[in-house]
Amino acid sequence: MQTSDGRSEKEKMLAGDLYDASAPEIQADQAAAKEWMIRYNAALALPPGERRKLLLERFAAVGEGAVIRPPFHCDYGYNISLGAGVFLNFNCVILDVVAVSIGDRTQIGPGVQILTADHPRDFAAREAGLEFGRPIHIGRNVWIGGGALILPGVTIGNDAIVGAGSVVTRDVPAGATVMGNPARIR
């Protein structure tokens, strides 16, 4: 269904503009992702190659040797790109209303949340059920410690380290180590 500007709610979502998440097309995509997650999360005992096939069904890109240990949760999956050798440990969450890219050889600890979904600061827009997303880009050879939160719009440069439990609210330069809430360069 197209809106007054000629774009569907999904097109607005993918562009990072305000959109209505209750739109039927978006709800159908979320339902498909939920069905996929049931299959993926039941695949813990399968060999990595079989789990890779499941990732290829849903993700935008999956580099050679990329591994996600179930359980894993996402909004859609089709906005997630993993480089070669990427590793996500148990219980990671990626809210991928817009693009999430994770570079080669990046390692992500258990319970990490990567959150592109955001909400308007204007109360009337929130009350109307509108939301938006800001892309997250994680470089190559990054290490993100367990329980870290990566907030909307953040870019983490190559070779950076994010300490366990950190809340990353702003960009992290290449090679930097950040920690704390909010995460600051050490």
Q: Which two structure tokens, joined as six digits, stand for 9?
A: 């709610």
**Pair 76, 56: CB distance under 8 Å:** no
**pLDDT tens-digit map of 142-179:** 999 999 999 999 999 999 999 999 999 999 999 999 99
SS3 35: helix
**Quick one: pLDDT at residue 1?**
61
**Is the pLDDT assigned to residue 64 strictly greater than 80?**
yes
Question: What's the rounded Cα separation, in Å, for the pair 24 and 138?
Answer: 31
Mean pLDDT (the chain) is 96
Q: Among all residues, which ones are annotated catalytic?
A: 119
Band (pLDDT 50/70/90 cuts) for residue 5 is confident
Average pLDDT value for residue range 34-46: 97
Amino acid found at 100: V
> Model confidence over 15-39: pLDDT tens digits?
999 999 999 999 999 999 999 999 9
What is the DSSP secondary-structure string of 85-101? T-EE-TTEEEE-SS-EE
Is residue 74 predicted with pLDDT exceeding 90?
Answer: yes
Q: Spell out the alpha helix ranges (H) of the chain.
A: 9-14, 24-41, 48-58, 123-127
Residue 3 pLDDT exceeds 90: no
